[in-house]
Amino acid sequence: MTTQLEQRQTTKGAVQVEGLSVTFRNRGQETHVLNQIQLGIKPGEFVCLLGPSGCGKSTLLNVIAGFIKPTAGYVMVDQAPITRPGADRGFVFQQYSLLPWKTAFQNIELGLKIRGMAKGDRTELVHDYLNRVGLYKHRNSYPHQMSGGMQQRASIVRALVNSPSVLLMDEPFAALDAQTRHMMQELLLDIWEDLKTTVIFVTHDIEEAIFLGDRICIMGVQPGHIKAELPIGLRRPRHFDDTLSAEFVALHRQVFECIREETMKSMEGCL
């Protein structure tokens, strides 16, 4: 028997961002946030978006999710233009976002229930995933009874259980302590090796971006654009020891230099 967890879905999840611009209008004041973003992502690729605060990382992710309409340009997932949010694009939020009135199980089950999957199939699939991330014991806990790490694991599984083509993650581990964050990164990679879902992962943590990604897109400010792209050739599966390797340290320095310029630019006038 093959469960969904063992399937590989390397054929779907191609993302094409074409000439994407976003301008916010608030009380007559215009903020040009994203300018002519061009980005192609292969099915099954793990891409990290890295950039200083306020450069528009969340905005770009929100456009791909369909939460925000672009001012110009478009996003296509598997050749279909994005017009609204949908279950084919899973989202993991930075804030703890489990529904407080549902248990871990009910939260994860919700997408399947909405889709109309039969109760028995639903339960089996959700239990598989709960086991996979070590939450089976806590399946009947409410979010307030779970630690931050547990809540984020449940949020990731809530998105993945719908087998999305793309998994969008907006600084999902930023609120966790360093130890938990490292464990979550390894867990995420572990699941991703199995599922090979396309992942777009927003972070401002250079080490996290290098450790996770196949490719890093470094974003610049004023207005937000993609300044540089860097393939990460580190072998997979990756382990936390790899962060100490000479190759990793060299990449870190390279990214750091690139980001520093942008951070200086975004701080201009503040210093």
Return the structure tokens found at 52: 């200083």
- Residue of 20, 37, 50, 58 interacting with Mg ion (CB under 5 A): 58
**From residue 200 to residue 229, what is the string marking binding to ligand ATP with x (rule CB under 6 A)?**
----x-------------------------
Count, residues in the chain: 271
C-alpha–C-alpha distance, residues 38 and 245, integer Å? 32
Residue 33 binding ligand ATP, by CB under 6 A = yes
Peptide linkage before 237 cis (omega within 30 of 0):
yes
Q: Which of 171, 200, 192 is nearest to 37 (CA)?
A: 200
Site residues for Mg ion, window 230-269 (CB under 5 A)? none
Q: Which of 57, 19, 62, 95 is nearest to 224 (CA)?
A: 57
Mark the segment that binds ligand ATP (CB under 6 A) among 48-56, 119-127, 146-154, 262-270. 48-56
Question: Smallest distance from the beta carbon of 29 to ligand ATP, in angstroms?
Answer: 8
The answer to whether residues 171 and 202 touch, using CB atoms and an 8 Å cutoff, is yes
Q: Which does 159 bind (CB under 5 to 8 A by kind): ligand ATP, another protein, Mg ion, none?
A: another protein
Question: Smallest distance from the beta carbon of 228 to another protein, in angstroms?
Answer: 29
Question: Smallest distance from the beta carbon of 58 to ligand ATP, in angstroms?
Answer: 3
Residue 54 binding ligand ATP, by CB under 6 A = yes
Mark the segment that binds ligand ATP (CB under 6 A) among 46-54, 109-117, 157-165, 175-183. 46-54
Residue 134 binding ligand ATP, by CB under 6 A = no
Question: Who's near 108: CB < 8 A, 6+ residues apart?
Answer: 126, 129, 130, 154, 157, 158, 161
C-alpha–C-alpha distance, residues 223 and 56, integer Å? 8
Residue 155 binding ligand ATP, by CB under 6 A = no
* Pairing mode, strands 80-81 and 72-77: antiparallel
Question: Smallest distance from the beta carbon of 204 to Mg ion, in angstroms?
Answer: 8
Q: Where do contacts with Mg ion occur on this chain (CB under 5 A)?
A: 58
